[in-house]
Structures are given as C-alpha cells and as structure tokens.
Amino acid sequence: MEAMMKYCHFLEDQRRRTATIHASQDPIRSFKDDWSLRTIEKGMDKVNDTYQSVHHALVDLDLYKPLSLMDYQPDERYMRRHWIDEMVFPYPVAMYSYHQGNGLGNLVFIWKLADKDERRDVDTIMVLNEIKENLPRFSTRAMRKEFIQRYSDSAGIKPAILRDVWRFLTGDEAAAESSAEATIDSRVADFLLNADDPELFYDLRKNNGRPCDTRLDPFWEELAKFLDEQSVVDERRQEQHMFLPFAISIEDLRDKIASRLPPDSAIPSISWLMLQFWPSNPYSKCAAQYSGRYKVKFAVQQRIFRAQHEDSAYCAAQFKYLKTLACQFKDYSHMICVDDKAIVPIGEPDKPVSTGVRTHNSSLVPLQGPTLSALDHDFHIAGLIPSVMQLVDIPDDPNDSFYNSKIVVTVKDKIFQPSNAFRHSVETVHHLREMASDDGVNMNKPILFLFSDGGPDHRTNFNTVKLAAVALFISLDLDMYVHARTAPSQSYVNPAERAMSILNLALQNVALAREKLNNPHLERVIRSQSSIKNVRSAAQKYPGLQDEYCDAMSPVIQLLNERFSRLKYKGESVITMYPVSEDEIQDMIKSSLQIVMGDEVKEMDLSTLKIKDSSKLKDFFDKHCQERHYTFQIKKCPVGQECQYCNLCPVNLPEAVFADLHFLPDPTFDDVLKKFKPFDEVYGTMTTDECRASAKNKVTKTDADKKNEKLFVAAKVRSQVKCVECGKPRVVYSATKLTEGEKRALQRCQEELTYTCGSSLFPEGTNLFGKLVVREGLACINTMETTYYSGVAAAFKPVCFHCGTGESLVDNADTQNLKQLFAIVRPICQGCFDKGLQPSTRNANQVTKKRK
C-alpha cells in the first residue's frame, strides 16, 4: 500500500512538472545550459581500430571544422559512452556534447585543434555558432498556442495550417501532441507542397446543407435508398467500388428520384444535387463547395498504376538532357515519340468482344429495351495493335511543352503483323518521308531524336533495335540519330502516352469481331487454336491460312482507321496509315544495311544477327555509335576524318553546326549537391552510364519476397519466364503444381512480353497474384538464380549463369578441370568467358589422404 501511494505521488509530481513545462514560454532545454566542451590532447601515433573511420574523416577536414559522430558511434548506449570517453587521436581535438532530453541522447561533435600555442577562443566560438545553427530547435506548447490563437482568431486560418507555418518560421522540430494531430499535419504539409492553391484546404463536410431546413429530407432519403439498390459491386476485385451505371446525367438522376416521390415533394436544383456528391478533384477550388453527403463521385477508371524503378531518377535526367539538346539544335532537328497502345481485343465472328476501354462519358442508349453489351473481353485470340508516332513541335525552351505535335496511328494485326524493331523502323521511315521530307526520300532536317518506352521493340540494348536504328539512319541520310527510352514500368513519362486517352474516345463503348474466313476448314482450324504461337504454327502447316486471316481482319482495321481519323489532337486531325508488308520490311532493312555490310547481308538472318558476326558492321559501330543501357546514338564522322560511308553520304549540316554537335551525355551524379549535374556541365565531355542504380550488382528483398520466402526452394520451382529487359529466364514458384489454366496464363504473360525483373508476375487484384510468384528483388544485372539449375518438379535447359543465354556454352579444359575440383560448376557462355568472367562454382570436392 505504501509503495502504491509513493507511485501515485510520483505520477502527480510528474503531471505538475509536465504542465509547468507546457505552460512555460521558455524551452526546458536550451543551448545555454545543456552542453559540455572538453579538449582531448594528442595521444599515441597509432589510432585504435574502432576510431579508424572517424580518423579518416577528420584527416580530410581543416582545423576547426566540426564533424558529427552520429554516423560513427555505436548504437548500444553503454558501448557508446565508453567509446566516447576513451577516444584519442594523434592530434588534439575538441569534443562538444549537447543533451537534447526526452531520451533522444546526446549530439556529439569533434574538430581538430591547432597546437596549444596557436589556439584562440574566437575560433572555438565560431565553431560553436556553426553547430548551433544545425541543432534541432524545440518550442513549448505555450509558445505555439499563443501564436495559433492570435492568428486563428483574427485571420480565420485553420490551426493545422498555422502549425505548419510555425514550424516553417521557427524551424521547430517538436513532435505532434497526438497521433491524430500528426496525421493531419502530415496531410497539410503534403497538400501545401503539391497543391496549386493552398487556400483550398478545408473540410469538405462543412457545407452539408442547413440542418434546420428539412424540406429536402424526403428527397435525400429516397436518393440514399436508390443508390443502395442500384450500386454495382465489381466481383472481379477484392475491394468493393461503387459507381453509377444507371444514371446518364445529374438531371436524369434527379428525374428518377422525383418519380419515386409524391408529386408535391420538394426537389433540389441540379447544381445543389451535384454538390451532395464527392468532388472528382478534392484540391480544386470548387471542391470546397461539395458536401460529401453521398460517397459517390464522377470518375474515369484509371488502369495504370505508376510502378517505381530504381533507375527512374536517372532516366528522368536523361530525358531532360534529350529535351535540352533538341531545343539547342531545334532548327536542324525533328523529334518523335513512339509507343504502342494496349492491344484492342477482337472477338470471333458474330461474337463481338468489348475493347475494354472505360468510358469518359456515358453514352446515350434507351433506358428500356436492348442493352449496350458485348462478350467478356477475357476470351479472345485476335487483336489489333495501334502504334502511335508523335511528331513533336520542338519548343524554344526545354521547360516548355513537348505535347504540341501531330499524331500518326498505324493499326496492325497482333498475330501476323506484330510490333518489332524492324517494322517500327520501316514504318517510321515511311511516315517521316511523307511528313518531314522535301524530296520524299531524305529528311529535311538531318538530326532525329526518338523517345520511346522500354518495350522489347524499342529496347536500345537489343541487337535488333540497334540494327533497325542503323537502317533508319542510312535510309533518311541523317547526320545524327539519338534514341532514348524510359526506365521499366515508366512508360507514362513518354509524351506519346498523352495521345492514348484521345484514341480511347474512338474505342469506348465499342465491341469488335472479325469476319469469317472464306474457307470453312481454315475457319475451324483458327477456332481450335488457343494461343498466338499455335495460330502461327497452324499458318505454317496450312497454306493460305495467313492470307485469309488477314483478309478477315481487314474490315476491322478499316473501321478503326475511320474512327481514329475523326479524332483531333491539339486541333490537328489524327493521321492514320496502313502497316507495311514483310517484303517491304526486308527490302528496306537489307538494302540499307547493304551499304555498310555489302552483299553478305543478303544471306543473313537479321533477327539473330550479332554485330560481332560481321567485321564491317562492327567497324561501323565502333566509328559511329555510342551504346548505353537506356540510349543508342549514331553520328557521322567529323569533317576531315570521313570513313567510307561518310564519303558516300557526307554531312548535311553546316560545318560549324556539326562541329558543335556531340553525343547526348549520360547523366552524371554530383556527390556534393546530391543530384545530377546540369546539361551544360556534361555536354561535350566523355561520360558513362555508371551512375544508374541498376548498374550496381545488388539483391534486395522486397516485402513480397519476405512473404514468399518459403516458396523460393528447388521443390517449388514450376516454370520460368523471360525478362523482356535483359532476356534472363527467371524462375516461377508456386506452392502447388500448375493447372492447365495457370500454364496458359503464364504462356500468355510470356507472349505479351509484360514481365521485367523486379516486378510481380501478375498484377495485384488478379486471381493469380501471390499464387504464381517470382523473386521481385532481382534486378536485370543480377546473375541467374541457383534454383534454376536445381528444380525438382521442373528441369530447364542449361544457360549461362552470368547473362542467361543458352548459346555458345563453354566446355573446354578449364571447365573440365573445375568439374574435377567442385561438385557444382555453373554454365558460362563464350561471350562472358572472353570478358574475363569465371564459371560460378560450389561445394569443393574433399580429397581424403590415405592413412600410412
């Protein structure tokens, strides 16, 4: 009992002390009192190992330059105290400690001193003043309360905003008084940083009508019942989402509710009814007028989630450099942005499939009678790919808009006219010859900048993309060609994405189906196929199938071209063009490359051609090209140093302009300013792409990897999927054996080229998310997983441990010797072996000596 009374008295004393502190105008801790300063004279010449990192940091600093020990001292309190007390260096130092209170520990700074005879108090005072500027500042609640009350009453400003103003003006770092206040303050800070108009931060529920006015209550009650009855839940998502498929407009909704009420009932105006919903944009000025009575709003479904990538900042700097260079040579350049729109699904004959485009505006259809419907879009094989080319009107300043442009759309069949690097190159040449050429052959400006996303048909580190770029460079007689791309999962950065929403207008509320093939037997063959691969295999087996299938798709292509041509972008009509044939692609690519490679190109398969296989092509690359992970550039030789090609196709630019033209530099990180250097500092200098984060070989475990860690074993290996970025096969894990449906879903994922290292295999919300998994912590630079070679339920062909290729694997005396020494020797290809890489080995064989 006595102990409980003592504890009660203790708590009461603490309460009074805390109340006194909160009511005080002076902080309990101040720079004047809670600090100590001591001098540590010169010690032994040898520095203890525990102080080596501090010693190296101090050596690089001048005298009287303070160094914080926050990043050097031990984490454990007892060890930290002894570490500080026993500190000594082969030169004199001063140590300053500041006690923050509240269990935050001490802030400790040290700096080198001059010899005793040369020390001055004024130098120490200057150091202390410098430290004082960087110390955290705290204020009492009384000080904050007085500030907030003064301006809240007189100016009518919300306390949350005033707290943020207080922190900004005073540098106060005191914690919030409650978790609710911390949440509100965080929202306010984010809003003030991101919103265009900070005056709009008000509670939307404030204007919820007049409580005393009950005339409209019957209407509001009936409206609530109607929303509950008619709201639709999307059964294909884990969460429930409410939307309005039943009202064409606000006026239509008002009439529906009025028809359910007695004739003499009070009816609100259209504008007042609209303000009872939630605003579409809570940060706009009109958002303050919405009451939020009903959890309903007008919205367009957003399907694109902006996934992050470790190279996002690097590629953003690269794109900024590209825009700066384009503006600098605006009078001599064209810039295009290219991208493929999502595949438009096409149904079987008489079974139209919805395009899957969510409507921006509700369509006018009869309220009773036939419904606007289509088959579920999940069941189809046929599809069309609208490829978009955006011819940019380059502005004068890189900070101005790059969206003013002309749009060209080419609609192609996804099965027999798939997007690839060679097709894109030939179609780009055709488009530019029509839109940016004076003679119908060469471009009227000899510099071309191309920006794309990271799809496999635009991957700048793929051989096919490089060869297609060379063919385009030669066909248009360019002086310089620059191709840059976005980081994986960052396609929204591409300006061509802006045109996709315009094209959606022609696809919303549309269901499409192909025509029947003229030959009934071939029609039955097509219907029996379940994948793109199977259809292409059938076309090789049955003559005429491909031609008949293309004829059946032709009316749908014409229909989409007609609908796209009725659209306008920035006041300009969208231009539609038809795809080129395979013969045209082969003729243009080979005729262009023949200028460099000679007749040897005629016998080569360009899809598998490697640059090193042709000495002439390799020589052209060495002289004219700069290859990086996210860029590929081609430039003619300097004047006076022309090669055979440049003598045949001389420079078109004025000599002075060409002399100032250099390759697009790689973003270079400034370690001092902690950001990428501006364009002017690096342009014209030799740079590398070593500053990109993915160039560092590291494996990090994501939250998903930690959750699925038990699956990442050899017994759970089920299949593999290739990364479209690096080409390495990554292992697919599952707790159970794959069903036929899961195998087809995995095959479709591979066909549609959607997987990249570091991403999940299937999007969140689908039924296979979390069931079929891959290691999301792997980056493209990482080597193969060991479980690839040791799967129990699935066995894969051997591939190089370093690059993932299955070609030219080394089997020589060196690898045979390693197999004698180690139980496991991973495969290695000839290319990696020539670079100096060694086979990965494990489990050295134990040699037991015979007993004498």
Could you tell me the pLDDT band of residue 237, with boundaries at 50, 70 and 90? Answer: very low
pLDDT value at residue 190? 66
> To which residue do tokens 């471009």 refer?
443
Detail the DSSP E strand segments found in 370-507.
383-392, 405-413, 447-452, 480-485
Please spell the DSSP secondary structure of 575-632, one letter per residue: EEEPPPPHHHHHHHHHHHHHHHHGGGGGGS-TTT--GGG-HHHHHHHHHHEEE-SSEE
pLDDT value at residue 245? 44
Phi first, then psi, for residue 842 (nearest 5°) are: -150, 155
Three-class SS of 193-223: HHCCCHHHCCCHHHHCCCCCCCCCHHHHHHH
The CA-based angle 568-569-571, given to 5 degrees, is: 75
pLDDT value at residue 827? 92
Nearest to 683 by CA among 326, 401, 312: 326
pLDDT value at residue 317? 93
Please spell the DSSP secondary structure of 659-714, one letter per residue: HT--PPPPP-EETTTTEEPPHHHHTTS---STTSGGGS------HHHHHTGGG-SG
pLDDT value at residue 240? 39
pLDDT value at residue 408? 94
How far is the C-alpha of 714 from the C-alpha of 790, rounded, in Å? 6
For 69, the token pair is: 């020990």
Could you tell me the pLDDT band of residue 426, with boundaries at 50, 70 and 90? Answer: very high
Phi-psi region of 684 (alpha: psi -120 to 50; beta: other; left: phi over 0): left
pLDDT value at residue 699? 67
**308 vs 658 pLDDT, higher one:** 658
Q: At what angle do helices 532-541 and 545-565 cross, to 10 degrees?
A: 130
By percentage, how much of the chain surpasses pLDDT 90? 23
CA distances from 844 to 585, 618, 819, 820 (A): 53, 41, 9, 9
Cβ pair 252, 274 in contact under 8 A: no
The mean per-residue pLDDT over the stretch 518-524 comes to: 90
Please spell the DSSP secondary structure of 764-811, one letter per residue: TTSTTTTTSB--TT--TTS---GGGTS-SS-------TTT---SSB--
How far is the C-alpha of 194 from the C-alpha of 141, rounded, in Å? 28
Q: At what angle do helices 497-507 and 545-565 cross, to 10 degrees?
A: 100
Could you tell me the pLDDT band of residue 703, with boundaries at 50, 70 and 90? Answer: confident
Span between the terminal Cα atoms of the chain, in Å:
80
For 277, the token pair is: 């919903």
The CA-based angle 27-30-33, given to 5 degrees, is: 130
Q: What is the pLDDT of residues 98-121, one digit of tens each?
A: 876 655 667 888 888 888 888 888
Please spell the DSSP secondary structure of 290-302, one letter per residue: ----SS-------
For 484, the token pair is: 């840059």
Beta pairing partners, 449 = 335, 482
The mean per-residue pLDDT over the stretch 449-456 comes to: 87
pLDDT value at residue 754? 67
Nearest to 694 by CA among 307, 308, 314, 305: 314
The mean per-residue pLDDT over the stretch 177-200 comes to: 62
- Whether residue 491 has pLDDT greater than 90: no
pLDDT value at residue 325? 95
Q: Report the sign of the C-alpha dihedral through residues 347, 415, 771, 725, in that order.
A: negative
The CA-based angle 407-559-749, given to 5 degrees, is: 75
- Whether residue 272 has pLDDT greater than 80: no
The mean per-residue pLDDT over the stretch 807-832 comes to: 87
The CA-based angle 662-668-674, given to 5 degrees, is: 150
The CA-based angle 773-778-779, given to 5 degrees, is: 130
Helices (H), 436-581: 463-475, 497-507, 520-527, 532-541, 545-565
Strand-strand pairing, 717-722 and 572-573 = unpaired
The 3-state DSSP class for residue 142 equals helix
How far is the C-alpha of 785 from the C-alpha of 63, rounded, in Å? 51
pLDDT value at residue 257? 87
> What's the length of the chain?
852
The mean per-residue pLDDT over the stretch 329-356 comes to: 89
Query: How many other CB atoms are found less than 10 A from the CB of residue 239?
Result: 7
Please spell the DSSP secondary structure of 800-844, one letter per residue: -TTT---SSB--SHHHHHHHHHEEEE---BHHHHHTT----EEEE
Q: Report the sign of the C-alpha dihedral through residues 530, 536, 542, 547, in that order.
A: positive
pLDDT value at residue 569? 87
Q: What is the pLDDT of residues 643-654, one digit of tens each?
A: 989 998 999 999
- Whether residue 332 has pLDDT greater than 80: yes
Query: If you compute the radius of gyration of the chain from its CA atoms, what whole number of angstroms results?
Result: 34
Judge residue 188's burial from the number of C-beta atoms within 10 Å of its C-beta, 0-12 exposed, 13-18 middle, 19 or more buried: buried
Could you tell me the pLDDT band of residue 602, with boundaries at 50, 70 and 90? Answer: confident
CA distances from 708 to 435, 702, 768, 788 (A): 53, 10, 14, 17
pLDDT value at residue 34? 67
**565 vs 613 pLDDT, higher one:** 565
Could you tell me the pLDDT band of residue 174, with boundaries at 50, 70 and 90? Answer: low
CA distances from 355 to 345, 373, 417, 508, 695 (A): 6, 11, 19, 7, 39
How far is the C-alpha of 25 from the C-alpha of 720, rounded, in Å? 66
**624 vs 139 pLDDT, higher one:** 624
Question: Mean pLDDT across the chain, nearest whole number?
Answer: 80
pLDDT value at residue 197? 43
- Whether residue 682 has pLDDT greater than 90: yes
Could you tell me the pLDDT band of residue 466, with boundaries at 50, 70 and 90? Answer: very high
Judge residue 467's burial from the number of C-beta atoms within 10 Å of its C-beta, 0-12 exposed, 13-18 middle, 19 or more buried: buried
Nearest to 357 by CA among 126, 146, 512, 247: 512
How far is the C-alpha of 436 from the C-alpha of 444, rounded, in Å? 6
pLDDT value at residue 234? 37
pLDDT value at residue 689? 87
Beta pairing partners, 717 = 733
- Whether residue 605 has pLDDT greater than 90: no
Lowest mean pLDDT among 296-310, 360-374, 751-765: 360-374
pLDDT value at residue 333? 95
**1 vs 325 pLDDT, higher one:** 325
- Whether residue 51 has pLDDT greater than 90: no
Strand-strand pairing, 575-577 and 405-413 = parallel
Q: 236: number of CA atoms within 13 Å, CB side?
A: 5
For 590, the token pair is: 């080979």
For 257, the token pair is: 């509710």
Q: What is the pLDDT of residues 529-562, one digit of tens each?
A: 878 888 999 999 998 999 999 999 999 999 999 9
Cβ pair 354, 374 in contact under 8 A: yes
Long-range pairs for 845-848: beta carbons < 8 A, 24 or more residues apart: 845/820, 845/821
pLDDT value at residue 366? 42
> To which residue do tokens 């609908």 refer?
563
Beta pairing partners, 67 = 110
Q: The whole model's pTM is what?
A: 0.58
- Whether residue 364 has pLDDT greater than 50: no
Cβ pair 828, 789 in contact under 8 A: no
How far is the C-alpha of 44 from the C-alpha of 484, rounded, in Å? 57
